[in-house]
A = this chain, B = another copy of it.
Amino acid sequence: MIRRHPLAEQAAEELLRRIGSGEWALGQKLPGETTLAAQLGVGRSTIREAVRELAGRRVLESRQGAGVFVIAHQATEDWDKVLRRADITDVLEGRLAIETEAARLAASRRTPADLKAFRYTLADRKRASENSPDDWYVEADLAFHRAVITAAHNAVLTELFDTFVPRIRRAMIDMLRMDEQHRHRHDQAAHVAIADAIRDRDPDLAAARSREHLSAVRSSVS
């Protein structure tokens, strides 16, 4: 499917390129609409739409009467896109960083409600690993891991994990599809071990077991 880009979109790309190349410093004013329009050989409204698009991406900011100003040197990377493009091993290493630290914190902060969530999600995971479609198994697995993150009681780590989930989910499903043996379904014990370490308030052990499990996952795809 081809896609012809409208002029306004092309203009936005061109401006973004110039901004990224440092043609205008942070906080500096861009040339006026009429000047830019003449430079790029397009109409004024086209330039305005391009500027609006970059304003939506938080790169430019226009103030009536004053001008258009650079407020960021590049578009804030769309994390979904970054993760889609990134090597799955890089993604899994990021996940490992987040989750081992979360396991460590969870061991100190877990509440009775967190432990209850562990029990439920582990039971679900066990059932799903026996006779369910791949999708269900993947969801059950992710649900347990999210329970661990939740137990860390850290909003940033939770949000980070949620950002990673879509990418991880897809990778897991692909992996299961390739691997007829479903070998990854047999690591229920590893998950129980992580939960136990958190329950026993042993940060180092929780982190170590989490690291071990996720290292194995990473190794299995590379």
What is A's interface to B at a CB cutoff of 8 Å? 6, 8, 12, 45, 48-49, 52-58, 64, 76-80, 82-83, 86-87, 90-91, 93-94, 96-98, 100-102, 105, 154-157, 159-160, 163
Contacts and interface: CB of A to CB of B under 8 A. Distances in A.
A157 B98 CA distance: 10
Q: Which of A45, A56, A57, A155 has the most CB of B within 10 A?
A: A56
A159 B90 CA distance: 11
Interface of A is mostly: helix
B154 A94 contact: yes
Given A97-B101, A97-B102, A82 B52 contact: no
Contact of A156 (B58, B91, B156): B91
Contacts of A156: 82-83, 86, 90-91, 93-94
Contacts of A100: 97, 101
Contacts of A52: 8, 49, 52-53, 56
Most buried by B among A77, A87, A101: A101
Nearest to A167: B156
A155 B90 CA distance: 7
A40 to B, nearest CB: 16
A110 to B, nearest CB: 15
Nearest to A164: B156
Contacts of A80: 58, 76
A96 to B, nearest CB: 6
Contacts of A83: 156
A6 B64 contact: yes
Contacts of A94: 98, 154, 156-157, 160
